[in-house]
Structures are given as C-alpha cells and as structure tokens.
Amino acid sequence: MNHLFITPAARLQPRWQAAFPQATLAAVAPETDRLTPPPDIIWIVCEGEQQPLSAPLLEAVTRLSAESAVVVLANAPQQADALQALQAGARGYAHALSPVATLQQIATVVTNAGIWVPADLMAQVMGHTWQALNGEQRLRHALLDKLTEREREVALAVVQGASNKQVARTLNITERTVKAHLTSIFHKLEITDRMQLILKLADRAVNLPLGM
Amino acid sequence: MNHLFITPAARLQPRWQAAFPQATLAAVAPETDRLTPPPDIIWIVCEGEQQPLSAPLLEAVTRLSAESAVVVLANAPQQADALQALQAGARGYAHALSPVATLQQIATVVTNAGIWVPADLMAQVMGHTWQALNGEQRLRHALLDKLTEREREVALAVVQGASNKQVARTLNITERTVKAHLTSIFHKLEITDRMQLILKLADRAVNLPLGM
DNA sequence: TTGCTGGTTGTACTGCAGTCCAATATTTAT
DNA sequence: ATAAATATTGGACTGCAGTACAACCAGCAA
C-alpha cells in the first residue's frame, strides 16, 4: 500500500508514521502525471483554522482524485469543508489527530470503494434528508389528500405560479371554475389566498441563517 | 469482541456464525440493563418484505443504541428504512445477506466511531445536502445581493406572505413606497409579480415524485 | 326517489397588486 | 460640485384575485 501525505509541515506526524510506516511526504500537491505509480491514497492535510479548505487545496483534491483516493485531514474539521471536499472528489474527511487505528480503518474503507465520513456530519446529513423526504413531503401529502382530484390539479398548477387564466387554459375550464375550486381549496386548507397556498405546499421556511 | 444478533429466526445464519464465531442470539430485544456487559455490537435483523422496519424494532434501535453500537440488517433493504434506522441511532444499515468480509468490515468501522451506509444511499444523500446547502442557498444570496438594503427587507417580508399593507406597517413606510420598492425588485430579478418572488426565494421546485 | 358530493359556469362586486408619470430629499461617488 | 443611486410619497389607472349568491348536471348512496 502506497501512501503520500501532503502537508506544509516539515515532517510526518508520528501518528501517521505509525499508521503507515512506508508513507512518503510532499510539501505541495505534485503534478498528477509525475506520480508513477500514483499513490494508493493521498492524504491532504489542512492546517488553517478559519478556512481550512483553501481554494488551491480544493483544486488539488479535484486533480489528484482522478488517479488516487484522496482523504482530507483537517486540524479544525468543519462540516461545510467536509461536504466541499467530498464534492471535489475526496473519498474521506477526518480529523488530523485521528488515532492510528482510525487512520488505518479509513485506508481500508477508502481502498475498498468506500467513503469515509465523520459520524456527526453523517448524522446531520441523514437527518436533513430524512426531513426533506418525509417531514415536508408527508405534510404536503396530508394537505393534498384533503382535496378532490380536480382541486389537486388546480392547486398544483397554482403552486407553480400559474394565474387563474393559465390554469383555466391548461385544464380546459373557465376561469370562473378555477376560482370556484380555489375558494373550496382555501376553505379546506384554512387559508385565505394563493400566496399562502404556495407557502404551504412549496413551503420550506425561507430560512437564511447562512453557514451550517 | 462481543456480538449479539436479534432475530426471530431460530438459529444464527451460517454467514453470521462464520463472521463472528462467538456471536450470541436473542429472539427479541432485551432490556438494556440486563446486558452486563453490553455487547459491542447488536445486529438487528429485519425479515419483513413490505415494512422491514417495524415500530417495535425502531424502538429497540433507539433504546439499545445508548449502550451498544447497533447495526440493522435488512432482507429487503430500502433507503427510507435506512434513513429511519440511522435517525433512530443505528450505526449501520446493510443487506442481511452481506458477505462475511463485509460484515467484519462493518464491525470494524462501527466500533471505530464510524457509521456504515450503503453506497447508493450515501450518493443520494450527499447530493441532496449539497444541493440544499449550496445550490439553492447560494442562488438565494446571489439574488438578494442584487437588491438594496431596503429592497431586501421588503422582499423578505413579502416572501413570507405579507401583503403590501402589512409590509408598510412593519417598515413604517407608506404602502405606496412598498409598491415602489417592489417594482424595483421585480425589474432587478426579472420577474413580474410577488408570486414569482416567492417561488424564486422560497423556491425549491415543488416536486411530488413520491417514494425514493 | 331523494339527498349529497363533485364539477361546472354565470353575474356582479370589492379590494389588492402593479404600473405610469412625477416629485423631493439624502447619500455616495467621481 | 455635480451626477448617480437610494428612499420616500402622491395620484390615477388597469387588471387580476377572491367572494357572494345562484344555477345546472352527473354519479352515488340511502
């Protein structure tokens, strides 16, 4: 197994040395075609505190991940960085101070077509999708189930931004009929206008908290 | 290493026996405090076809995951079930017929504070979160950045369903002024009315494809 | 048969949304 | 210092949204 550590530090950390005795070291990311043979795993170490994953490092991940499995080691792990790294092609993201056993574990997983992700990130991401897939979608279904077939068609059209006239044309009915259906919809869902309908179905709380 | 399999079956499958010769078996989930010491890994086996992850099993996952690492093995794996299991605290989810090597691999990952997730689920989930965190949120920011401070305030209020009159009251300006800001907003974002504003900012494509 | 639900349409009315044409004051950039 | 951008408001106008009050028809259950 062929390991290459990329880090500005002068020497390999004892931890890494212990995990992979035959590991080599480089100060900066080398050209891809210079590596013959390409290492099995390239470990890229982020030292920074604020912005661990700098642009050049991200670029290195993208470039190197074509030939080798890339794992990013961060001194100050951040979930946003992890996602960015994985998006760029990294096969793993972990704390730089992970114990030897974990490092070896990561190596095994990564070389076996696996992806190694920190548990907390995984939990958050999983929770997120679970919410997205179930929470909101089930809510929407519960609401739509209160409506008749025709009302559902009208509601779905309106929720996509259609005007009464447009809905009328696509459903081949009068604008007046569309209004009738809408009035019924509003009553059933206990709302007052199409804007609230959009906010209920297209919903998802317009949150701009930024960052994760 | 201490393994406990929970399954309605009378005996351990040969596969499991081979992977963990010292594994024990239980028909139902035991009380947590009866287990001294708690097993390192508890494998919960789902036999059902339609609804593999029944409510009592989920409850067992939640309860047992406090003491031991819990891995759910499904005869008919489903992504929704996997999400639910992980949400409940499971540390892994895999096919019940996974080969011996994989089972052992799972055991190692799970005992090293890792989480084992099927590759396809991982791919879908990662893509989803990335979209949610970057794609849309950055889009929203890009849009909001085109607006002036005051316009942003108006836009954010409108996007939450406020009428012009309401916005006027909360910002202490005339309804006429709100209209002026809105006209400017519409031009800048190249839209025609407040509904499209909601769909652009609250966005997220009202998709009801159902199922995963 | 009768009653109920769902789908359809009509007329008339109220009110909000959005635009056009201005106008004024403040701030910022050149 | 002059121009440009931003914030503010007025009046008048068009048009869509939504409601009230009704009416007709088809299918279905009691």
Question: pLDDT tier at B211 (50, 70, 90 boundaries)?
Answer: very low
Q: Are B93 and B115 in contact (CB under 8 A)?
A: no
C-alpha–C-alpha distance, residues A51 and A47, integer Å: 9
Residues pairing with B6 in the sheet: B26, B44
pLDDT at A131 over 90: no
Measured from the Cβ of residue A124, the count of other Cβ atoms closer than 10 Å reads: 14
Global model pTM greater than 0.75:
no
Q: What's the CA A154/C1' C10 distance, rounded, in angstroms?
A: 20
A180 interfacial to chain B (CB closer than 8 Å): no
- Closest alpha carbon to B207 in A140, A168, A182: A140
C-alpha separations of B90 from A44, A93, A134, B59, B68 in Å: 30, 21, 18, 11, 10
Question: Any idea how long chain A is?
Answer: 212
Residues of B in contact with A202 (CB under 8 A): 198-199, 202-204, 206
- Closest alpha carbon to B194 in B171, B208, B178, B209: B178
Secondary element (H or E) of residue B97: none
Contact B196 A126 (CB under 8 A): no
Question: pLDDT tier at A176 (50, 70, 90 boundaries)?
Answer: very high
Token digits of residue A66 = 């074509």
A27 interfacial to chain B (CB closer than 8 Å): no
Taking residues A133-148, report their average pLDDT: 72
Question: pLDDT tier at B87 (50, 70, 90 boundaries)?
Answer: confident
For B116, the closest chain A residue by CA position comes to: A116
- Closest alpha carbon to A90 in A119, A112, A58, A118: A58
Give the pLDDT confidence score for residue A20 in this predicted structure.
Answer: 92
Q: What's the CA A181/C1' C4 distance, rounded, in angstroms?
A: 18
**Which nucleotide is closest to the Cα of B194 by its C1'?**
C17
Mean pLDDT across chain B: 80
pLDDT at A74 over 50: yes
Question: pLDDT tier at B209 (50, 70, 90 boundaries)?
Answer: very low
Alpha-carbon dihedral sign for residues B133, B138, B143, B144: positive
Q: What's the gap in Å between the CA of A49 and the closest CA on chain B?
A: 21
Q: What's the gap in Å between the CA of B95 and the closest CA on chain A?
A: 16
Contact A198 B199 (CB under 8 A): yes
Those residues with Cβ within 8 angstroms of residue A206's Cβ, 6 or more apart along the chain or in another chain: B156, B159, B160, B201, B202
Secondary element (H or E) of residue B206: none
Give the pLDDT confidence score for residue A174 in this predicted structure.
Answer: 93
pLDDT at A179 over 90: yes
Ordered by start, the domain boundaries in chain A are: 3-117, 121-201
For the CA atoms of B74, B78, B79, B81, the dihedral, rounded to the nearest 10 degrees, stands at: -60
Q: What's the gap in Å between the CA of A149 and the closest CA on chain B?
A: 15
H helical segments located in chain B: 14-19, 55-64, 79-88, 100-111, 119-130, 137-145, 149-159, 164-171, 175-189, 194-201
Class at the top of the CATH hierarchy for domain A121-201: mainly alpha
Give the pLDDT confidence score for residue A33 in this predicted structure.
Answer: 59
Question: pLDDT tier at B203 (50, 70, 90 boundaries)?
Answer: low
pLDDT in tens, A22-60: 888 888 766 665 666 788 899 998 876 655 667 777 787
Taking residues B62-71, report their average pLDDT: 86
Phi, psi of B32 (to 5 degrees): -65, -40
C-alpha–C-alpha distance, residues A181 and B1, integer Å: 64
Q: How much of chain A, in percent, has pLDDT values that exceed 90?
A: 26
Question: pLDDT tier at A206 (50, 70, 90 boundaries)?
Answer: very low
Q: At what angle do helices A149-159 and A175-189 cross, to 10 degrees?
A: 90
Q: What's the CA A204/C1' C14 distance, rounded, in angstroms?
A: 32
- A vs B, Cβ pairs < 8 A, gives 115
Q: What's the gap in Å between the CA of B33 and the closest CA on chain A?
A: 26
β-strands B92-95, B69-74 pairing: parallel
pLDDT at A211 over 60: no
Helix (H, G, I), strand (E, B) or coil at B45: strand
A189 interfacial to chain B (CB closer than 8 Å): no
Q: Which amino acid is at B179?
A: K
> Which range among A75-84, A170-179, B116-125, B143-152 shows the weakest confidence by mean pLDDT?
B116-125
Residues 49-108 of chain A with CB under 8 A from chain B are: 80, 83, 86-87, 101-102, 105, 108
- Closest alpha carbon to A201 in B202, B152, B167, B79: B202
pLDDT at A210 over 50: no
B42 interfacial to chain A (CB closer than 8 Å): no
Q: How much of chain A, in percent, has pLDDT values that exceed 70?
A: 79
Give the pLDDT confidence score for residue A207 in this predicted structure.
Answer: 39
Q: Using alpha carbons only, give the angle B172, B173, B174 rounded to the nearest 5 degrees.
A: 135
Longest C-alpha distance within chain B, in Å? 78
B124 interfacial to chain A (CB closer than 8 Å): yes
pLDDT at B181 over 90: yes
Instruction: Give the residue ranges with Cβ < 7 A from strand D.
Output: A 163-165, 175, 179-180, 182-183, 186, 192-195; B 148-151, 171, 173-174, 176-177, 179-181
B3-117: CATH superfamily: Response regulator (3.40.50.2300)
Contact B80 A119 (CB under 8 A): no
Those residues with Cβ within 8 angstroms of residue B17's Cβ, 6 or more apart along the chain or in another chain: B23
Q: Which of chain D's bases lie under 7 Å from a protein CB?
A: 5-11, 16-20, 22
A210 interfacial to chain B (CB closer than 8 Å): yes
Give the pLDDT confidence score for residue A1 in this predicted structure.
Answer: 80
pLDDT in tens, B132-171: 666 666 666 777 778 888 998 999 899 888 999 999 999 9
Give the pLDDT confidence score for residue B30 in this predicted structure.
Answer: 67
- SS3 readout for chain A: CCEEEECCCCCCCHHHHHHCCCCEEECCCCCHHHCCCCCCEEEEEECCCCCCCCHHHHHHHHHHCCCCEEEEEECCCCHHHHHHHHHHCCCEEEECCCCHHHHHHHHHHHHCCCCECCHHHHHHHHHHHHHHHHHHHHHHHHHHHCCCHHHHHHHHHHHCCCCHHHHHHHHCCCHHHHHHHHHHHHHHHCCCCHHHHHHHHCCCCCCCCCCC
